[in-house]
Structures are given as C-alpha cells and as structure tokens.
A and B are shown apart, each in its own frame.
Chain A
Amino acid sequence: MAEKVMVKGTEAIGEAAIRAGCRLYFGYPITPQSELTEYMSRRMPQVDGVFLQAESEVAAVNMLYGAASTGHRVMTSTSSPGYSLMQEGVSYIAGAELPVVFVNVVRGGPGLGDIQPAQSDYFQATKGGGHGDYRLVVYGPESLQEAVELTAKAFDVADKYRNPALILADGMLGQMMEPVEFPEFRDLNTLPDHSSWAMQGAKGREPHKITSFDINEYVLEQMNLRYQEKYKKIIENEQMWEEYKTEDADVIIVAYGTMGRIAKTIVNMAREKGVKAGLFRPITLWPYPYDALAKLADQAKLFFTVEMSMGQMVEDVKLAVNGKKPVEFYGRTGGVVPTPNEVLAKLMELI
C-alpha cells in the first residue's frame, strides 16, 4: 500500500472513484461538495476520462443514465437539494438496473437549508426519494479512510447486482482533511464485463434494450418481483456495521457517519463516569443491519439514537429493537453538529 496523504474529504472520494475505475463523471456544483466536481474536472483528463459539467442536476443524473447504459463505471456527486433534483433519474436508473455510484454530501434542510453538515436526508436515501418500489445500497462512512474504501466497494457492489449505490456523507466529511491511504489503481481490463447487456452497438447480436418500463402491468409486476429477489440477496450479503465496546454494554448508542465517529468519544466519556456504554454504528444504511442490532436488545437495557436530524434513523433502530427495550433519541438539526458533552449530558439524564 502507498503512504498516507493529507486530503480533503470530497477530493478523497473523487480520487477513490478514479482508482476504482470510474472514467466518466457528470455533475453540477453545489456546496459543500463543489470541490469534488472541481477535482474531477482536473483529474479526469489526466486519466483519459470524461468530465462534463451538466446544466443541472437533472441533466447530470440523466447523463449518468446514458453513460452507465454503455457498461462503463460512472459517478456523480451532489448535496441535498441537488440530490432531490436527481430523484427522477435515481428511480429510472434503479428501474433500468444500471450500476452507478452517487455521492450525497448532506447539508441542512429542508428546502435550500444551509451549507452545514446534516443527516436529514436519511429517509430520502434509504426509503426511496423517487417513485416506485426500489432500493439503493447506501453507505455511511465515518472517516475519510472509510469513505475511500466504501467508494471502491460501492462500484463493485453496484456492478455485482446491477444496482445503484449511494455514498451518504455529510458536510463534515466532505470538508474535513485527514491522512488517507489510497488503494492501487484498478486495471480497467479487470473490471466486470458488461457486454452481455450494455448498449454498445448491436454488432453480430440481437439489440440490447434497457428500460425501466413496461406498459403491461403484469409484466411490470414481474420486473418488480425480480428487483425484490435482487434486494433480498443484497440484504443477505451486504450488511456492514461496527460495534465499539458493546460486549458488556448496558447502554447502546446508535449513530452513523460523522455522528457515529463523535459517539465513540461519548462512549469513552460515559465509561469514565462508570456508565457501561457501547456504540452500534451501521455502515450500510440500506440494507440496514437489523439482526445484528436486534441481538443487542437481549443484553442492553437502553438504546440511545443520536443523529444530526430530528430523528430519522431512530425508526430503523425501533424496528430492530422491536419493543424489547426503550429507544431514546437525541438530535440537532439545521446543520448543527452535537458536541460530545451535550450528548453525554442527555445520556446521563436518561439513566
């Protein structure tokens, strides 16, 4: 492995994508992820790739659709209002079963909101956002190193299942700098061969048709059932999470992304005060690691979900705990990042 280099979050994700074999990027500037778009504009020509600044997020996601339908590795990145604009395309891409990678560097909302870090796009990211019965594989990294690794994984998983994947970062991850170790460049010849379905010209074969559509409701139902079979396999194979000091924990803090990282500090502070706290940090937000979290419900006395939102993932925690133990919640919103002290104070009130 190469030595560690100091990079900014947005740029780390961009470089990771290029090293994973992404050679087409379409995007539109929006704070706090514009540096990723800028980074791709510098880097893509250096690797014989394509960078194109679209006229809007709506156009960007559809350029992604077109490029992905030819079987290439493609990516776009945006921030909350931009990802809302992309939802039409996300639904179509999921329906057409195209392997693309999205990056949403979440900021405060709703509406124009602000440009500070938030986690209030969780519902949109994990429960739909666009129309129809579809799912995206959603990763919530806590550090730049993890973001780099998950970006590479997102491309592989997208290819494996012919399904879009999403890196759900937040403004904190996008804007911070950390030392990162990058993987080697993927040899493009080793990327999965998509010629069996991709649109590359019908030379010597039947034409390939890629659509998210059938006018016959019974055929469309069969297409949907096929998607569900795929989602079932993703649920079986792709769940990722981290547990920190949960072995003997009475209180399980549940948090993801930047909040998950802050929560490690809170666990240590609580333990210094004699509270046996532990952290459950989902890494895949879909598929959500329900079973792993449910196991902790036999042992712990209290679950405490902490989010940079008014409470979105807490619904999944409640589903996992399934009424066996109390699930409490604390969150800040609008782009405010909770401090360890304020979360600890809330935790001490609860026990």
Chain B
Amino acid sequence: MSYKIKFKGPEALSGKEFTYCPGCHHGIVHRLVAEVIDELGIREKTLMVAPVGCSVFAYEFFDVDGTVAPHGRAPAVATGMKRAMPENVVFTYQGDGDLAAIGTAEILHAANRGEKITTIFINNAIYGMTGGQMAPTTLLGMKTTTSPYGRSAENEGYPIHMAELLSNLPGVAYLARTKVNKPQDVIKTKKMIKKAFLAQIEGKGFGMVEVLSTCPTNWGIPPVEANKWLEENMVPEYPLGVYVDKVGDEK
C-alpha cells in the first residue's frame, strides 16, 4: 500500500513539541509564522531572535538559525544581525512585557530607524512566564498578581497601545493588529504576517504584527472562555486593523 501525504507541518518548524499551556495562542502564531516562511521560501536565510518570557524556547521550535535576546532587547539584537547580514531575513518574536515594558526604547528606535526587520508581537495583557503579573497592556480594572485590586489609571496608568504609537513613525512599512481566536482571524493574521515579512524583503522598512492573545492559565479561565474574554474585553480596548501598509497588494 502506498500513502500520499496530503497535509503536513511546515518545514520551518523543527517538530519539537511546544511547551505552551493549553489554550495559549503562541502555538497558532508559531505555525502561521512558519507557514509564511515556507511560502516565501526563506527558511534557509532566516535568522530569528527569541525573547525572554513564555516564548523563550521559540528559537528551538523554528527550524532556522536562532538566538535568545536579553529581556526586551530583541530589536537591538535583530538590528545588529540585519546590519551584518543585509541579505538575510531577520525576525523577532516578543511578548508584551518584553516589547511594551522593558524593551520600549529598543522597539521604538528600531521602528523609527525603519530597520528592515519583522516583529511578531504577542499581546495577552499579562506576564505569562513569571506567573501572571501586570503588564503595560493589562486592561483597566483587570486583576493580576501585582494588581490584585484591579489596574487603576491613577496608580498604574493606562493600557499602552503599541500599534498606534509605532504607526506614527515614518520608518514603519507595515503594521497591523489582529487576533487568532476564530478561524477567519487566523487566515487574516497569516496574510498580515506575510506582509510584515514582505515589508522587510522588499526593503521598505520595519514590519510588525500585534496579535491579541489569550493566557488562560494566568487569566484563570478555561481556553474557550478565554477566547470569549479576549473578544469582549481586549478587542474594544485594542482596535483591530491595518495601521500602516506600504507593501501594497500581494501579486
């Protein structure tokens, strides 16, 4: 008997089992990034920079050259790589603590320089790996282990909107905010990720996709409810859509 393979995992994934919690969106986004790398045929020249946090092992999940940056510094590490190897494709994968707190300066200046790198930004409104502390993206009123009475604007300030902030910088060539809690969103998100890579490949500048994501473990709710919570609470705070697109339509 002979079998014909009709469906298989992307080549840009190493096949190593993900270590993420049930219901976490990292796995979906990893797969989308890997599929885009496959479709663009860039696996053999892609260099990835993994962050500190839950996705610290991302460099092992992708079958590409990879390193782990110090907390928040991935855009600076990626800058050094890209300047040394301009023909290669360089991407960072970062969470909200990484990108929107400790690494705010690095992402802002990499974007402002129009650094030809791609950033995948996972915003789940909480710190995952360290056990559910408040993030700069935590919603007002949201309880975390370090905002046990709920985040208040007076004490902790407002949820930070990175897509809107960065979209004002002329160096940005593609910027979108999306989510992956429904199948049609997954399809949309993949197209956005592809464009963020094309912004780099076509030499147009910095590309970033912010993905609103769930953290059922630290939110303390089951995965299905987490998807619903994201829809009802995060989407109104963080408007979805394409903020910058200098890439144009895919040929």
* Chain A residues with a Cβ under 8 A of chain B: 24, 26, 50, 52, 54-56, 58-60, 62-70, 72, 74, 88-89, 92, 96, 199-204, 207-213
Taking a contact as CB atoms closer than 8 A, the residue among A62, A74, A207, A209 that contacts B69 in the complex is A62
CB pair B67–A199 under 8 Å, yes or no, is yes
CB pair A202–B77 under 8 Å, yes or no, is no
Q: Decide yes or no: A59 and B85 within 8 Å by CB, A208-B65, A209-B59 being known contacts.
A: no
CB pair A202–B68 under 8 Å, yes or no, is no
B105 within 8 A of A: yes
- Bound-state CA distance A184–B73 (Å) is 36
- Bound-state CA distance A298–B62 (Å) is 60
Nearest chain B CB to A88's CB is how many angstroms away?
5
Q: Decide yes or no: A63 and B85 within 8 Å by CB, A55-B105, A199-B66, A199-B67 being known contacts.
A: no
Taking a contact as CB atoms closer than 8 A, the residue among B56, B65, B70 that contacts A209 in the complex is B65
New contact pairs (19) apart from A92-B70, A211-B68, CB-CB < 8 Å: A24-B80, A24-B83, A55-B106, A56-B105, A59-B79, A59-B109, A62-B70, A63-B77, A64-B80, A66-B77, A66-B78, A66-B84, A69-B81, A72-B84, A96-B67, A202-B63, A207-B14, A207-B63, A209-B66
- Bound-state CA distance A69–B83 (Å) is 12
- Bound-state CA distance A210–B64 (Å) is 11
Q: Decide yes or no: A52 and B79 within 8 Å by CB, A62-B69, A88-B70 being known contacts.
A: yes
Q: Which residues of B contact A207 (CB under 8 A)?
A: 14, 62-66
Taking a contact as CB atoms closer than 8 A, the residue among B44, B56, B69, B83 that contacts A201 in the complex is B44
Q: Which residues of A contact B109 (CB under 8 A)?
A: 54-55, 59
Nearest chain A CB to B16's CB is how many angstroms away?
11
Nearest chain B CB to A276's CB is how many angstroms away?
52
CB pair A202–B65 under 8 Å, yes or no, is yes
Measured CB to CB, the nearest residue on chain A to B106 is A59
Number of A-B contacts (CB under 8 A): 125
Measured CB to CB, the nearest residue on chain A to B50 is A211
Q: Decide yes or no: A65 and B46 within 8 Å by CB, A59-B76, A70-B84, A209-B59 being known contacts.
A: no
CB pair A69–B67 under 8 Å, yes or no, is yes
- Bound-state CA distance A208–B85 (Å) is 15
B217 within 8 A of A: no
B47 within 8 A of A: yes
- Bound-state CA distance A202–B68 (Å) is 17
B60 within 8 A of A: yes
Q: Which residues of B contact A60 (CB under 8 A)?
A: 76
B43 within 8 A of A: yes
B191 within 8 A of A: no
B125 within 8 A of A: no
21 contacts across the A-B interface (CB closer than 8 A): A52-B79, A52-B83, A55-B109, A58-B73, A60-B76, A62-B70, A62-B77, A62-B80, A65-B69, A65-B70, A66-B78, A66-B84, A70-B81, A88-B73, A199-B66, A199-B85, A201-B64, A202-B63, A203-B45, A210-B66, A211-B68
